[in-house]
Structure 1
């Protein structure tokens, strides 16, 4: 697909998201100071061995990493854009998600726990999609929606005893907080924040993301 066609697909959505992302970053509380990361040598990378890979194009392919909050409106607005990008660059890029639940969002940790519990059963993408596709139904509420997220787990066919055990297990929250802590060390303060091959992307123009992906995949020369 030509670059001009790609840009047409995402331009309007990206324009809306850029405005939303600036607003979200401006009012959220900065997360607490990070704890020194474990098991890293030298500079902290944007991914770890246990990072969740939704699209795997192989070790030689460029890797796009998104730090996200399932309750973040900007992330929700960006979700269909990312789905388009994943389709356009299918087979050419790795796409990795990392949790970054923001303290100003009441259910962001509950949502991340639901996603991580689903990941333990090999169903992360199904929960990832359900959380974003229903965000307007539960986002910005000041009461726990853990029961609603549990119903999503039932809908996608998870083993509910294992799901409940995972949500209750402190190790599940620790896994979420590992991503959160790594993000803080990488100076992530808002969501969505993207890294491409370890370099943070600053989305100041509409085609910044697709242009960077074109360069990384060699499509810019085509």
Structure 2
């Protein structure tokens, strides 16, 4: 077992110990969109649920599009993370997750750049898993944290290339576009969720799951 795999298994163990119940892994089906385009609809309103540049986890033809505005350093985002994994695991063909970024915390931008650089190498899901598991270490809020790059030393991720890619103008554009769409969506905090464009008003796994089930109900497909 290499170091990268050990980190994944260790991160899962940490999450299991901290959260209410065991969850299964995110399907490794992230789409790697490389073009960055303004995500505006024909009406001029922001279509933040369909940004072409965003990471997409799950079946691209899923009936439900779950958009999450996530700050990688946000503790509430980390708390919701295993529930989102559980939903994706239970509805692998019917729900896809679109990730949009928000960098409220000082450590967030670097984490976003790491995620996007890892996506270029095909390791988005694995890196997201590790960053969430070890968030208290690299984003301790008010304390000095570790350099998040050190989490991936000895892994399959080509770190030096990723560090170069992480500084690209394209990733800067992604961060800026996501900020604009976050503001246009009316959201004020992270995480913020939208189910087929409808906002989750109560931040809790139960109402989120109910929204998804409602969208999957037979009456919604007629």
TM-score range, shorter chain: 0.7 to 0.9
Instruction: Give the helix-richer structure, 1 or 2.
Output: 1
Partner of 2:63: 61
Q: Within 5 Å, give how 1:79-90 maps onto structure 2.
A: 79-90=81-92
Say what the alpha-carbon RMSD is for the aligned residues. 2.7
Summarize the alignment of residues 187-206 of structure 1 with structure 2, pairs less than 5 Å apart.
Answer: 187-203=186-202
Q: Does 1:170 align with 2:169?
A: yes
Q: CA deviation at 1:201?
A: 1.6
Number of aligned positions between the proteins: 184
Please state if 1:112 is matched with 2:115. Answer: no
Structure 1 residues 139-160: Cα deviation after superposition (integer angstroms, max 9, x where no partner): 2345786x73222344541222
1:173 offset after TM fit, Å?
2.2
Tell me the SS of whatever aligns to 2:201. coil
Gaps of 5+ in 2: 1-18, 21-36
| Structure 1 residue runs without a partner (length 5+) | 1-11, 14-36
Distance 1:213 1:220 in 2: 13
Residue equivalent to 1:70: 72
Output one character per residue of 1:80-124: Cα deviation in whole Å (capped at 9) or x when no partner: 11111111222211111111111xx12011111111111121211
Give the direction of change, closer, same or farther, for the CA distance of 1:169–1:84 in structure 2 (3 Å limit). Answer: same
Partner of 1:49: 52
Aligned 8 A contact 1:68 1:98 in 2: yes
Query: Taking structure 1 as reference, are residues 143 and 162 closer, same or farther at Cα in structure 2, changes over 3 Å only?
Result: farther
In the superposition, the TM-score normalised over structure 1's length comes to 0.73
User: SS in structure 2 opposite 1:168?
Assistant: coil
